[in-house]
Chains A and B, each alone.
Chain A
Amino acid sequence: MKSLAELQAIRNRMIEQVNMRKDDNIDTRIVVGMATCGIAAGARPVMLEFVEELKRRGLENVTVAQTGCIGMCRLEPMVEVYVKDQEKVTYVHMSPEKVARVVTEHIVNGRPVDEYTIGYQG
């Protein structure tokens, strides 16, 4: 395995930061449907892109989590975004290309990307 010493250095740096991530610091949750249907439709690259985009922007108070089958397999990959004190937004037919826009417009600026959401009719 890659040097664990390097990992301990990261840990020591983290532990000094007072603002250790606690649940009450989390104000947004991104939940990706990761059942067989989601995975088959390409949920993994979508989830990895969310992780990547959050890292790029240093958004520490956002978590990426997974859920099982949301129940509308033909709309996978599906992603639910829970912003604190707001109604859940469900995105359908997600792709890695759509991720940056969701993060910028919705997660950062608070405006859901309507055209990617479920039931959107252009």
Chain B
Amino acid sequence: MMRELSDNIMDIAQNSISAGAALTEVHVKVSHADNLITFVFQDDGCGMSEELVQSVIEPFTTTRKTRKVGLGLPLLKQTAEMTGGTLDIRSTVGVGTTVTATFGLDHIDRPPMGDVAGAWFSLVVMNPEKEFLFTYDYDGQVFTFDTREVRAAVAPIPLNQMEISAWIQECLQSEINELHGGNFT
């Protein structure tokens, strides 16, 4: 299991990059009213056949050629289910994939949320040519971060240029902190 839910964010979003997605969306929702945390990963990557969707939650399924295990989705499923949540995968070949995971917010086995800003920041600086749309909905207050807007503002400077990436990091951190006052784990 991952130590923090935010580690799963990086891991699962990376699947979208590997699937050749131009745009990867990661939506995080925290709802105390529903007692639920929801992650939605949506991409316009190559998608998966129905058969692959069925088997992809098995640890011994991977598209990797180098070895025969892939643990990202099985780990996410395990974490979701042990907190009373669910994992749902929908995919269409040539269109993209949507992965939805839910976690019981106050479940005793729920790992801490961890550093969502750090996870998002890592995705952007490690994949500076890719587009990301992030949203964080905290009890109805929503923060949206869109790399396409940032890119338009800074072009032709790449997003991983030091000062630009520092701005992105600071932006993600302060906006997420502002949402929940820094006291949500």
Stretch at the interface among A47-55, A87-95, A101-109, A112-120: A47-55
Contact B162 A55 (CB under 8 A): yes
**For the complex, what is the distance from the CA of A30 to the CA of B82, rounded to whole Å?**
36
A69 within 8 Å of B (CB atoms): yes
Which residue from chain A places its CB closest to the CB of B165 in the assembled complex? A51
| Chain B residues, CB < 8 A from A55 | 162, 166
Please give the residue numbers on chain B whose beta carbons come within 8 Å of chain A beta carbons, in ascending order: 1-3, 7, 10-11, 14, 64, 66-67, 70-72, 75, 115, 118-119, 121-122, 125-126, 144-146, 149-150, 153-158, 160-167, 169-171, 174-175
Please give the residue numbers on chain A whose beta carbons come within 8 Å of chain B beta carbons, in ascending order: 1-2, 4, 6-8, 10-11, 13-15, 20-21, 34-37, 39-40, 42, 44-45, 47-48, 51, 54-55, 58, 60, 63-66, 68-69, 71
Q: What are 16 inter-chain pairs, A to B, with CB distance below 8 A?
A: A2-B171, A4-B150, A8-B154, A11-B153, A11-B155, A14-B157, A14-B164, A21-B158, A35-B14, A36-B71, A44-B122, A47-B122, A48-B121, A51-B169, A55-B162, A58-B162
New contact pairs (18) apart from A10-B154, A55-B162, CB-CB < 8 Å: A4-B149, A7-B153, A7-B167, A11-B154, A11-B164, A13-B163, A21-B158, A21-B161, A36-B11, A36-B70, A40-B75, A42-B3, A47-B122, A48-B122, A58-B162, A64-B126, A66-B126, A71-B66
